[in-house]
Amino acid sequence: MTRRLGLALLLVAFATSWVLAQTAADRRRSGYQDMGEALQKMQDDDGGNPGLLFVQLGRQLWDKPAGSGGKSCADCHAIAGMKGVAARYPAIPKGADKPIDLEGRINLCRTDHQRAEPLAPESQDLLSLEAWVAYQSRGVPIAPTDDARLVPFRARGETLYRLRQGQLNLSCAICHDDNAGNKLAGATIPQAHPTGYPVYRLEWQTLGSLKRRLRNCLVGIRAEAPGYAAPDYIALELFLMDRARGMPIEVPAVRP
């Protein structure tokens, strides 16, 4: 009798911990859930989401030959094969030892295969191409690669995430872990999951990369924002993508 009761209690304990584990996982929220209904509708409306203008532009650029190689992206890649790519980047390209993000990958293709100039950071062409590639992964759960070589870079990203910096002496974690859901002035602090990059931000009135977003935060805490080529951005992106593992890609997301 006691044994049976013990077994039942054990089962209840297992069930409770399982439920708790599930709710803990569910506590992750995309920035989508923290914005107003009007903006959610704007993102969901395939006839009104302004990010889709860039996706459309990216589709045109995809087929357009560039550089002295005279090749277009489409000459090598079928666009359908790009599904899931945005969900696993940053990654280490063949023959290299450092990770690059999707933008880095696009520019590597340009310089190596198309023999063209790399596109400037935040340029409309680069963002549009990135949006077109990432759009193929819309709805795909974020699934970072388990490449062991990425571990130290990801660890560096986590260190940066928890590092207090700038005149305000804040870390990313203080806002986006400890105070997510609270207000910063009138705005709800999101949990900072990079589910929708490149994102159409109303404040920017254009599409912008995750790097631009990170630089915005750095300026906000009055820290020095390194240049676009800094490897620390990739490290942070690696950590953030791992933190958002399993959450669906929303490109092109709309954010306030």
Partner 1 sequence: MSNVMVNVPKTAKPGEMIELKALIMHPMETGFRSGTNGRIIPRNIIQRFAATWNGQEIFAMAFSPAIAANPFVSFFAVARQSGTIEFHWTGDEGFDVKEQVAITVG
Task: Just list the catalytic residues.
Answer: 217
Q: Is 189 in the site for partner 1 (CB under 8 A)?
A: no
Rounded Cα distance between 213 and 228, Å, is 11
Smallest separation, CB 87 to partner 1 (Å): 25
The binder of partner 1 chosen from 13, 202, 219, 229 (CB under 8 A): 202
Binding residue for partner 1 (CB under 8 A) from 3, 47, 148, 182?
47
Judged by CB under 8 A, does residue 53 bind partner 1?
A: yes
Q: Of 134, 141, 14, give the one whose Cα is nearest residue 86.
A: 134
Question: How many C-alpha atoms does 131 have within 13 Å on its Cβ side?
Answer: 30
Instruction: Tell me the window of 48-56, 102-110, 217-225, 238-246 that interacts with partner 1 (CB under 8 A).
Output: 48-56
Going across the sheet that includes 254-255, the strands are 206-208, 199-201, 254-255
Span near partner 1 by CB under 8 A; candidates 50-58, 74-82, 90-98, 133-141: 50-58
Does position 50 bind partner 1 by CB under 8 A?
yes
- Smallest gap, in angstroms, from Cβ of residue 114 to partner 1? 19
Compare residues 40 and 145 and give the one whose CB is closer to partner 1.
40
Q: Position 100: which residue type?
A: I
123 binds partner 1 (CB under 8 A): no
Q: What are phi and psi of 185, to 5 degrees?
A: 55, -125
Q: How far is the CB of 45 from partner 1 (least distance, A)?
A: 8
Q: 234 near 99, Cβ under 8 Å? A: yes
Footprint of partner 1 on 210-249 (CB under 8 A): none
CA distance 159 to 40: 33
Minimum distance of partner 1 from residue 204's CB (angstroms): 9
143 binds partner 1 (CB under 8 A): no
Distance between alpha carbon 30 and the CA centroid of its chain, in Å? 11
Grouping H, G, I as helix, E, B as strand and the rest as coil, residue 199 is strand
Asked whether position 48 contacts partner 1 by CB under 8 A, the answer is yes
Query: Nearer Cβ to partner 1, position 63 or 147?
Result: 63
Q: Give least dist CB 153 to partner 1, A.
A: 33
Give exposure, 224-248, as e/b (b: 16+ Cβ within 10 Å): ebeeeeeeebbbbbbbbbebbeebb
- The length of the chain is 256
Cα angle for residues 198, 199, 205 (degrees, 5° grid) = 120
Q: Is 60 one of the binding residues for partner 1 (CB under 8 A)? A: yes
Residues that bind partner 1 (CB under 8 A): 46-48, 50, 52-54, 56-57, 60, 202, 205-206
